[in-house]
Structure 1
């Protein structure tokens, strides 16, 4: 084992953490700087180092840049049209009375596939408030189930940018990642609901006064066991500083949570009619089905061809159309067209739609840069020999290979807060290990995504969104939100072991 190369890797990861935490620079600069530091410490030629950075950046964006842009566009249309809210209400109706936490967790996991967690939670939280107001209790349970349901798919199901970036960097099949991410989500949703139901009644009495009043008004609230928890205050001035976010959105809560019997004007489209759940589901399910169909048909075709020759795989005539339509770029283009022409009112002007899509593209810009920088970092690790050195180090100890990306993602997440940066960093470090360790790209991707869910706390922007809207402060926020994200992180470990045995 070359100690210099291991030191180079440590220096690179430390550079990312220090720059993100202690400077005014962002993760994009941090990853590029880490690539430079790693290459220099490893003794790489300076000109070849620059070539590795630019090549890695370009190769990564070539594979997933367009897909990220199209994905955020679909999410924006779902958001402004009100289709996301219609989907949520349909799921609540389908699950039935008494199963609201399951419904909210499922709603969160569905909505968060195309919509960023932060904005998705803002959109859906009024629904949780409305249900809690009718039930006269249980708001914390519903809010935590909603938020963590979003965390699951945000971290594990493309075309969310984080798992999509890890898929591109590690060279995994995107259809297989989608299927596996959905399966992981299904198995981890019970963890979300069980934890939310356990901790929710314990935290319900300590909601800050402003949020409690916003949710319940002056009614008597009840715990999950049916015991009264006391009257809420008419005024929350004592804790106004803690509930600012929730108070600012109270009008939205009233509008979205007042039920289906009152027509409200959509402030974005100007329409009083929301798209139905079926139409809202189309832009999501059609691209996913096309991508999965491509993956399944290709696998069947390869199996039928067998190992008759050493030639490169050529799709059969019946597979080629599915391979075209199921390419993520084409599939998401179809999804975006469906979203624009089925979810928006006919009177919506061209300029308004173009402005929404421009806003979506702007929100994806930094993610694209960070993703490309992650690819640059990974290329430097490969070209400098750091990846091979790390592979040798892992091979010398009895450590399952998939735990390497899992632990790296966990450490980076705790250190700097961003799950996306944690996934990209772990994927970049892991990419050179795929061949030497015989590690499946699919397993590596899922390890990166699962590891990045651990212990969301103060340095994570989503922590503040969830806890402010939920009305939890201080140690109670840690118990509720940091606890539930750590529970699903721990729950993913046995799933990774099983996946590693199967793949």
Structure 2
């Protein structure tokens, strides 16, 4: 076994973690610096290292960059039109009184498919506050159920950027990953509800007095800059368009539902009727780029009121695209690191080392993503790093790409705490600090990770 390639990998991972945690450098630059270090330490010539970085970056974004951009545009229009609020109210009506925690978890799971969970939680949090007042339910229970529901699909179901990036890096069929992610979500939603019901009432007394006052009086709640610093913001469930008429729940759901149906429909057609006359049409419409273009058009013309000006709509779309910029760069940098790992032989050396371990192959990507998540906090970075490290191993390990992707997505959920920006969003809005925050939010994310591991183990017998 060659030690030089493995040393290069260890140093590369250490660079990523140290730079993100201890310096001002963000994940995009950290991944690129790690790719350079891995290539040079592993013995790849300087010119070949930079060539691999450019090739990996371009190949990854060629398959996934457009899809990420379109996905966040749909999410932005769902946010500003009040469609997210309509979906939440529909869930409340559907589950009925006494099942408010189910409504919150379900709402979070649906809304977070296209909307970043950080912004989604800021938008939807007023529902937890108002529901706590009107229904007399535990505020912490409802807030945790909403936030954790968003975590589920944010980590498991494309077109959320992290799962999209994993699908692109590992070359996994997107429709298959959507179906698998939704299946994994099924046992996770009850996990959220039961944990929130158990821990929420215990922590209500721990809620910060100022937040409690605002919950009781219906005032604004603190937001956070991602580093734990609270500021004041007016967050409302009302739509932020020029009209107060939010779209109905069905219209709000269409920009999400139609692309998912088209993508999954193509996957089903390829599996059961690849030679059928409509297979070519299904493949075209079910291509993620085309499907999400259709979803974006539906969002523009079905969610946004006709009276809204063209410049206003374009500014919203621009804001959505801008929010996708960094995640697209991080995704490309992850692909660059993966290409360097392949070209330098680090992937092959890691595969040899892994084969010597007495653990099932499907646990490798799961453990990699878990460790990266714990070390640096970002679930998306954990997904991209895990996929980049796993991609060169798939052939040697004989591991199904879909199973590897699921292992990475589940591992990235592990133990959200102080180094995760979403930890601060949820805990500051909920008014939890110290051990109460760890019991509530860190505990519920770890419970999801554990249930996901069980699902992954079951899936390993099928895939």
Q: Name the TM tier (shorter chain).
A: over 0.9
Counterpart residue number, 1:231: none
Deviations 1:264-291 (A, max 9, x none): 6x4x321021100010010000000000
1:47-446 map, 5 Å: 47-217=47-217, 245=230, 248-249=232-233, 251-253=234-236, 256=237, 266=239, 268-302=240-274, 316-446=276-406
* Aligned residues of 1:140 and 1:201 also touching (Cα < 8 A): yes
Deviation at 1:301, TM superposition (A): 2.9
> Which range moves more in the overlay, 65-74 or 293-302?
293-302
Q: CA-atom RMSD, angstroms?
A: 1.7
| In 1: Cα distance, 2:332 partner to 2:229 partner | 36
Deviation at 1:2, TM superposition (A): 1.1
1:500 to 446, 460, 463: 460
| In 1: Cα distance, 2:235 partner to 2:44 partner | 55
* Aligned residues of 2:228 and 2:424 also touching (Cα < 8 A): no
| In 1: Cα distance, 2:295 partner to 2:232 partner | 33
Deviation at 1:298, TM superposition (A): 0.5
| In 1: Cα distance, 2:306 partner to 2:99 partner | 37
Counterpart residue number, 2:224: none
2:408 to 434, 439, 448: 448
Q: Does the C-alpha gap of structure 1 residues 70 and 201 become closer, same or farther in structure 2, counting only changes over 3 Å?
A: same
> Which range moves more in the overlay, 143-152 or 293-302?
293-302
| In 2: Cα distance, 1:487 partner to 1:175 partner | 27
| In 1: Cα distance, 2:61 partner to 2:191 partner | 35
* Aligned residues of 1:243 and 1:469 also touching (Cα < 8 A): no
1:35-46 map, 5 Å: 35-46=35-46
Stretches of structure 1 that go unaligned for 5 or more consecutive residues are 219-233, 237-241, 257-263, 303-314
Deviation at 1:390, TM superposition (A): 1.1
- 3-state DSSP of counterpart to 2:417: coil
Deviations 1:356-381 (A, max 9, x none): 11111111000010000000000011
Deviations 1:407-428 (A, max 9, x none): 1111111111111000000000
* Aligned residues of 1:95 and 1:103 also touching (Cα < 8 A): yes
Q: Does the C-alpha gap of structure 1 residues 57 and 474 become closer, same or farther in structure 2, counting only changes over 3 Å?
A: same
* Aligned residues of 1:211 and 1:243 also touching (Cα < 8 A): no
Task: Indicate whether 1:468 and 2:428 are aligned.
Answer: yes
| In 1: Cα distance, 2:22 partner to 2:216 partner | 41
* Aligned residues of 2:31 and 2:333 also touching (Cα < 8 A): yes
Deviation at 1:244, TM superposition (A): 8.2
| In 2: Cα distance, 1:395 partner to 1:408 partner | 15
- 3-state DSSP of counterpart to 1:43: coil
| In 2: Cα distance, 1:175 partner to 1:244 partner | 39
- 3-state DSSP of counterpart to 2:461: helix
- 3-state DSSP of counterpart to 1:502: coil
* Aligned residues of 2:122 and 2:235 also touching (Cα < 8 A): no
Deviations 1:384-434 (A, max 9, x none): 111111111111122111211111111111111111000000000000111
Q: Which runs of 4+ in 1 moved over 3 A?
A: 242-245
| In 2: Cα distance, 1:172 partner to 1:300 partner | 18
Matched residue count:
457
TM-score of the superposed pair, with normalisation by structure 2: 0.96
| In 2: Cα distance, 1:377 partner to 1:111 partner | 31
Deviation at 1:191, TM superposition (A): 1.1
| In 2: Cα distance, 1:244 partner to 1:214 partner | 18
| In 2: Cα distance, 1:296 partner to 1:243 partner | 45
Structure with bigger gyration radius: 1
Deviations 1:40-61 (A, max 9, x none): 1111121111111100000000
TM-score of the superposed pair, with normalisation by structure 1: 0.89
Deviation at 1:136, TM superposition (A): 2.6
